[in-house]
Amino acid sequence: MKIPLEIHFSDMPPSEATEAYVRERAAKLDKFSRRVVACRVAIAAPHRHQRKGRLYNVRIDLTVPGKEIVVSRSPSADASHADVYVAARDAFRVVQRQLQDVGQRRSKNRAAHAEEVTLRGKVVRLESDRGIGYIADGDGTEVFFHRNAVRDNG
């Protein structure tokens, strides 16, 4: 992550053990994408439920270039969230899946884009001192290229 992890506790005292667990889970996000810019985690125990006890709400705001992923595991959705670690685990699992989906979409778009710009032609002019040249395609249209666009320094 490029920006340090932010952890906020609401309606409960901060816990070093919970904070360490969240940091460990957040560090694992880099395995799914190295493009994570920021991660904010908010843990709240808003009220004590009459029958189920205290249920924790975990919200994760994850920022990657061009997208923000927001996941919130609310206490009403799952009674197992009486354990803060279970609530955090569930939220991080959802974030990991969404991060993987973003990465897969990016790789598909990158592959599609690479297919679109693949051109075939013949080098018609080359100015090696300037590191530029021109390629003519089948209908005679010339396309400019720079030496940085040539594979293997060819």
Q: What span, in angstroms and rounded, lies between the C-alpha atoms of 63 and 38? A: 5
pLDDT at 105: 62
What's this model's pTM, rounded to 2 decimal places?
A: 0.59
Q: Which residues of the chain have pLDDT under 70?
A: 1-3, 47-53, 73-81, 103-119, 153-154
pLDDT at 80: 66
Domains and CATH numbers, the chain: 6-115 (3.30.160.100), 119-153 (2.40.50)
Q: Is 140 left (phi over 0), alpha (psi -120 to 50) or beta?
A: left
Strand partners, 107: none
pLDDT at 83: 83
Closest CA to 46 of 14, 9, 72: 9
Residue 132 · residue 147 · CB < 8 Å: yes
pLDDT at 78: 55
pLDDT in tens, 82-100: 788 888 898 888 888 888 8
Within 10 Å of residue 83's Cβ, how many Cβ atoms?
Answer: 13
Q: Positive or negative CA dihedral for 143, 144, 148, 154?
A: positive
